[in-house]
Amino acid sequence: MNEIIKLNNISKEYMLGDEKITALNKVNLTVNRGDFLSITGASGSGKSTLMNILGFLDKADDGQYFFEGINQSGFSEEKLSKIRGQKIGFIFQSFYLIPELTAYQNVELPLIYNNIPNKNREKICKAALKKVD
């Protein structure tokens, strides 16, 4: 399967007091395996809303989101959490490290959440930290 993400007419609205704000209006997007994607736009254009939907942190009000060919609307919260931990990653403009942890511990934390054995975690962490010096 080449198609990883497919959005069909995704819409999302929020209420701000009595005013309805349309964050996304019938967005269509296809991301294939190996694609490199950058989401840019003016403040308030819906970038964060789209990222939250793509990352399973929020759900669209309307439209369909297919992840690896399966409509995600039927996914349980447990399934969505597992996908987030194993298959979804974001690169942010700012670094979001936990200041109370060392660099090693920050790298190790998602590996712990994914039940990677300690021996493997150490090897992965050391290799990742060596890459960034």
Q: Which residues of 45-57 are buried (b: 16+ CB within 10 A; e: fewer)?
A: ebeebbeebbebe
pLDDT band (50, 70, 90) for residue 11: very high
Say how far apart CA 133 and CA 131 lie, in whole Å: 6
Looking at 23-27, 40-44, 81-85, 92-96, which range is the least confident one?
92-96
Q: Is residue 23 within a helix (H) or strand (E), and if so which, with residue range?
A: strand 19-32
Residue 96 has pLDDT above 80, yes or no: no
Phi, psi at residue 105, to the nearest 5°?
A: -65, -35
Q: How confident is the model at residue 26 (pLDDT cuts 50, 70, 90)?
A: very high
Q: How far apart are CA 106 and CA 95, in angstroms?
A: 11
Q: Residue 28: its pLDDT value, please?
A: 97
